[in-house]
C-alpha cells in the first residue's frame, strides 16, 4: 500500500507539473529558486562518536502567484545525503532524491528574511549499509509545513 501511494503521488506530481507547464502557464515561470545546506560534524563520546556528513540541495521552479496574494506555487527536486563512520548506524548512511509541490509565502523583508511553505514531497532513500529490519531502500510520501527565518540583529 505504501509503494502504491508513493507511486500514485509521483504520477500526480508529473501530471500537475505538465499541466501547469503546458496550459495554465503560457508565460515563463516567475523564478528558479535554489537552496543548499550541509554540515560536517564530529561527536566525541557516546554511541555515535565520529564523523558525520549531512547535506541537501534543492532546485525549484516558481510557477505562478496565486491571485493578488504573496503565495507562490513551486515545484522542486532535491538530493539529500548523510554519511557517517559507523556502518551500524544505517539511518546515517543514505542518499536519495526528493521531488514535490509546495505553496510558499515570504514573511519578512531585508535585512531579515523568512518564509513559510506547505506541501507534499516524495522521498526515495538508498541505504548504503544494511538495515537490520527492512530493505536497503525506502520510498515514501511526506506532507510538510516548513519555516525558515534569518537576518542580522545589528541592521
Per-domain residue ranges of the chain = 2-150
* pLDDT value, residue 88: 79
pLDDT tens digits along 27-41: 789 999 999 999 999
pLDDT tens digits along 100-123: 999 999 987 767 788 999 999 999
* pLDDT value, residue 113: 83
What CATH architecture is 2-150? Beta Barrel (2.40)
Q: Are 85 and 44 in contact (CB under 8 A)?
A: no
The answer to whether the peptide bond before residue 111 is cis (omega within 30 degrees of 0) is yes
* pLDDT value, residue 108: 73
For residue 153, pLDDT beyond 90: no
**Looking up cell 548506524, which residue turns up?**
89
DSSP code of residue 70: S
DSSP code of residue 47: T
Sequence-ordered list of residues with C-beta below 8 angstroms from that of 72, at least 6 positions apart, any chain: 30, 31, 62, 63, 64, 65, 66, 103, 104, 105
Amino acid at each position: 500500500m505504501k509503494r502504491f501511494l508513493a507511486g500514485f503521488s509521483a504520477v500526480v506530481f508529473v501530471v500537475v507539473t505538465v499541466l501547469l507547464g503546458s496550459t495554465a502557464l503560457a508565460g515563463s515561470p516567475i523564478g528558479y529558486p535554489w537552496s543548499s545546506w550541509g554540515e560536517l560534524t564530529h561527536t566525541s563520546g557516546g554511541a555515535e562518536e565520529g564523523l558525520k556528513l549531512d547535506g541537501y540541495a534543492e532546485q525549484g521552479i516558481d510557477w505562478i502567484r496565486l491571485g493578488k496574494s504573496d503565495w507562490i506555487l513551486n515545484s522542486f527536486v532535491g538530493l539529500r545525503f548523510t554519511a557517517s563512520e559507523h556502518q551500524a548506524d544505517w539511518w546515517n548512511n543514505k542518499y536519495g532524491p526528493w521531488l514535490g509541490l509546495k505553496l510558499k509565502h515570504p514573511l519578512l523583508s531585508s535585512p531579515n528574511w523568512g518564509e513559510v511553505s506547505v506541501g507534499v514531497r516524495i522521498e526515495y532513500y538508498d541505504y548504503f549499509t544494511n538495515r537490520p529490519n527492512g530493505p536497503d531502500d525506502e520510498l515514501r510520501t511526506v506532507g510538510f509545513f516548513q519555516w525558515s527565518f534569518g537576518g542580522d540583529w545589528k541592521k
